[in-house]
Structure 1
Amino acid sequence: MRKIIAFLMIISGFFSFAQNRFFYEYKFIPDSTNKADVKKEMMLLDIDKNGSSYYSQDKYISDSTTKAELEKQMKVSSGNFTIKRTEKGGVVGYKVTKQYPDFKTFIYLKVSSDTYKVEEDQKPEWKILQDKQKIGEYNAQKATTNFGGREWVAWFSTDIPFQDGPYKFYGLPGLIVKIEDKTGSHSMTLVGNKTFQTVKTQEQDLPAGIQLFGMGGKEIETNEKQFKKVWKNYVNDPTKNMREMMMKNSDGNNKVIFKSKSADGREISDPNQVFREIEKNLRESFKKNNNFIEPDLYK
């Protein structure tokens, strides 16, 4: 693992800039009633001069692949688009961004076909302790906080000059290289990093009236109180937005077709059957994914 010893600097090119990417191994227990089932996912923390972004590597790759396929369809068709529901890459669907220098923090959460940009109104309040130990290649110091309905133990390193960390955590005098809640349900450990150049490109717009389930669409800015109401409604009727989207986009020249697969691998294209299958799967998922990283957000 290569240590980063220089601060960010702008490089040549109006849309080009240097970016540091930190790789965190995220281990978590989705179901509190089955603690033997521990999942792993590689998470990325990208840091540049304006702030940071934390998200799943697998989901990013999967979404990019899906988007490329849809853009290919758009080039050859101005009317009908087929959106196949297959096993999505990655388990972690949220993204967290922080804006420098005030560390204004947002979490982006998918609920059905909508993306909610939820502003965080609290910051982690840390208690820095004298305990020190090596975490990977780094000299680290211990700190604790209560945040989001969990007690957390963090290890930060002043070897890396960023007061940031994975998820919504920040504000220590160095990068957080490891953090774990006291129940052992969620832990994030730095396993690598790299510096690279990135160039912003303009994304292709979708035809008017088309909204894609699971990606794209408008971001709905909201607060935690309003998001909790949205989540409660979603749990009560998981396919409501999808049904409304299909009816809306099937009236004109554009048509959205949902497809799914049954448990035995058969492709399902009948809309009513697709929605029943999706709702069944979602309700099973709700039961098995009850151990949220931030329980207070879903109460």
Structure 2
Amino acid sequence: MQRILFMLLLQLSVWLTAQNHRFIYEYRYIPNINEKDKMMTDLMALDITKTGSRYRSLTKLTQDSARQAQIQEMIKKGGAFSQMNFKSSRQPGMVEYEVLKDYPNNKVYLIQPVSRDTYKVLEDENLIWKISSEKQKIGDYQAQKATADFGGRSWIAWFTQELPFQDGPYKFSGLPGMIVKLEDTTGSHTMTLVANRKTPDVNSATVSVVGGTKISFGKEPIQVSEQQFKKAWSNYILDPAKELRAGSSVSADGTKITRVTVTDGSGKPLDTGAMMKTIEENLKKQLANDNNKIEPSLYK
């Protein structure tokens, strides 16, 4: 009942503002629990509209926008698409997942890429906050402390009633104010509000029509439960290069995938065996160094 009341108040507060808002958080985190001195940083955007919110990497958002502009420019000029046009430009510390909060339906989703697929994972754990009387100033705002256990971690949140929203970074919301700082008790993950502004339609669809041609950017996410995602993730961990090695095979969720031939700049096919071995070694190393997830209970 309290959560339903919160969502009604949240919708009302957003309707009253009659604007879309973007809140920028500095996200500092330790990817490898065995290398606590190596802290990564990304800027995250929490975009709030009257129907929900979207939390994602501002760096990735900027790069995706640039890529979309590049594709549209190539279509206008009649240019050819090639593998060389779209080399991976993922920067260290650039978060790949997104979080969607659907206000009217009171649902929270994690959008998480896994190998060739992207999953839309419905959250099934309720946040239960304990609000403290402790207060302090966080940035420009007077904030109050609250704590909760979620996703396999204990969290400390500082929220303010000086902002007319009841949302926050990642999957966190449900407090009587905007979360301006959030950190887990190990100091591994910290999100701090550093800027906010009104924006135009920040959640417009990434589909464009150029010269009568409809272009969609990226595959549609596969909607799954947490248990289904855990199974897909477990399969990926056991063999991260499985889908890349396959000719025509089946991915973790049961959909068919198709062989991709990789060539060098001259069009000569590359040694697939050697390439796959290198890719597999790199993937396993990457996974081994990314062992301190923000929500460890989801990636068991």
Same fold at TM > 0.5:
yes
Pair 1:58–1:131, CA change in 2 (3 A): same
CA offset at residue 64 of structure 1?
A: 2.6
Deviation string, structure 1 residues 41-61 (Cα, Å, up to 9, x no partner): 100000010000000011112
Percent of pairs identical after alignment? 43
Distance 1:188 1:173 in 2: 18
CA offset at residue 197 of structure 1?
A: 1.6
CA offset at residue 93 of structure 1?
A: 0.6
Q: RMSD of aligned C-alpha atoms?
A: 3.1
**2:296 aligned partner:** 295
CA offset at residue 280 of structure 1?
A: 1.8
Cα pair 1:70 1:81 within 8 Å, conserved: no
5 Å-filtered alignment, 1:91-170, equals 91-170=94-173
CA offset at residue 72 of structure 1?
A: 4.9
- Confirm or deny that 1:49 pairs with 2:50: yes
Distance 1:72 1:243 in 2: 33
CA offset at residue 201 of structure 1?
A: 5.8
Distance 1:143 1:201 in 2: 35
5 Å-filtered alignment, 1:1-299, equals 7-9=13-15, 18-72=19-73, 76=78, 81-82=82-83, 84-89=86-91, 91-198=94-201, 200=204, 203-204=207-208, 216-244=218-246, 257=262, 270=270, 272=272, 273-299=274-300
Pair 1:174–1:287, CA change in 2 (3 A): same
Distance 1:112 1:71 in 2: 26
Unaligned runs of 5+ in 2: 1-11, 210-215, 250-256
Tell me which of the two structures has the higher relative contact order, counting C-alpha pairs closer than 8 angstroms and 6 or more residues apart: 1
Cα pair 1:259 1:269 within 8 Å, conserved: yes
Cα pair 2:181 2:190 within 8 Å, conserved: yes
* TM, length-normalised to structure 2: 0.80
What is the number of equivalent residue pairs in this alignment?
Answer: 271
Distance 1:97 1:271 in 2: 41
Pair 1:71–1:33, CA change in 2 (3 A): same
Code of the residue aligned with 2:65 in structure 1: it is S
SS at match of 2:200: strand
